[in-house]
Amino acid sequence: MAVKTATRLTLARRPRRLRRTETIRSLVRETHLTADCLILPLFIVEGRGIRRDVTSMPGVSQLSVDEAVTEAAGAKRDGVPGVLLFGIPGSKDPSGTLASDPEGAVQNAIRAMKREMPDLIVITDVCLCEYTSHGHCGILDGEEILNDVTVGHLAQVALSHAAAGADFVAPSDMMDGRVAAIRQTLDEGGFERVGIISYAAKYCSAFYGPFRDAADSAPQFGDRRSHQMDPANVSEALREVETDLAEGADIVMVKPALTYLDVISRVKQQFNQPTAAYHVSGEYAMLKAAAANGWIDEPRAMMETLTAIRRAGADIIITYYAREAARRLKSR
């Protein structure tokens, strides 16, 4: 059938005009993803020359301190301004004693990174689950996590990270009152310049699965429902954020990201504070698995995902894709 070129509609609005060329699209683009908002998580183990791949997270490895410094330097070259460090200790006990060891893998990595790259932003995850033999985020009495005792330990962990030179500590445990306790302990220790990024709205999510392989932190019994948030709630997330800000958080985080874009949006609009989102291990693994099967165009899916998190209101995105995304942004 011949195309009827003579047909003309009279339209007041033709949105397609603004989509005609890449330069026009770029002119009216509302969200700009830039490398300077990306943070790369790293898993640090003891030893030297170790680079142990994490099966469920292609492209992610457990790294010894020397390898982690190399990785951070590479990330910096790609345009990624900072890293988030997780530690995997050589041994574990019921109270996660090694979490605050001044010579622990994380503490050594902070010092090594700061020595070589003073302006690299070094953030540390503060939680006990990677350090406890039972894999829970705190000190137990039977099967119950003792809130206030745990908070005391967490503050000491944060202090050990600050003493090693961390720029920010990021408590991910979801105990009540931990931001206030950490702030007070840091200030008393003379670390008033060290900031707190609180995992304020951290949901009890199935998407942390691959991380628990990477960090060897799966709970030996039970789950994390007594402290992480119910995925069904959003008003509660706003109360958590309000509480953490009142206790002294400098940056608040929502985690995971994709299944909680509405939460990111509400948090940003209501509080207008620096807001981070964590694109977590399971979200990353899903894209990697689909890409490995040839089911999606991975670079496009990655950029679309990160742009969506930014559009929802995140100022900062923590993602295992940080280097790949930064390289792609640079090559444009």
Asked whether the beta carbons of 121 and 83 are under 8 A apart, the reply is yes
Binding map of ligand PBG across residues 222-241, x = CB under 6 A, - = no contact: --x-----------------
114 catalytic per annotation: no
Nearer to ligand PBG by C-beta: 191 or 199?
199
Count of residues that bind ligand PBG according to CB under 6 A: 11
187: amino acid identity, one letter:
D
Give me the sign of the Cα torsion angle 317, 322, 328, 330.
Answer: positive
**Phi, psi for residue 2 in degrees, rounded to 5:** -75, 145
Distance CA 89, CA 18 (A): 54
Q: Which residues contact 169 (CB under 8 A, 6 or more apart)?
A: 123, 124, 126, 158, 161, 162, 182, 186, 194, 195, 196, 197
Q: How far is the CB of 172 from ligand PBG (least distance, A)?
A: 4
Q: Which of 203, 208, 260, 321 binds ligand PBG (CB under 6 A)?
A: 208
Q: Check residue 60 for interaction with ligand PBG (CB under 6 A).
A: no
Count Cβ atoms below 10 Å from residue 293 Cβ, excluding itself: 8
Q: How far is the CB of 319 from ligand PBG (least distance, A)?
A: 9
Residue 137, exposed/middle/buried by CB under 10 A (0-12, 13-18, 19+)? buried
Binding map of ligand PBG across residues 262-291, x = CB under 6 A, - = no contact: ------------------xx----------
Q: How far is the CB of 331 from ligand PBG (least distance, A)?
A: 26
Nearer to ligand PBG by C-beta: 191 or 207?
207
Positions in 163-192 near ligand PBG (CB under 6 A)? 172
Q: How far is the CB of 332 from ligand PBG (least distance, A)?
A: 27
Peptide bond into 256 cis (omega under 30): yes
Q: Which of 202, 268, 288, 330 is catalytic?
A: 202
Nearer to ligand PBG by C-beta: 127 or 264?
127
Nearer to ligand PBG by C-beta: 116 or 144?
144
Asked whether the beta carbons of 276 and 197 are under 8 A apart, the reply is yes
Q: How far is the CB of 297 from ligand PBG (least distance, A)?
A: 23
End-to-end Cα separation, the chain, in angstroms: 41
The DSSP letter of residue 230 is P
Query: Which residues are near ligand PBG by CB under 6 A?
Result: 125, 127, 129, 137, 172, 208, 211-212, 224, 280-281
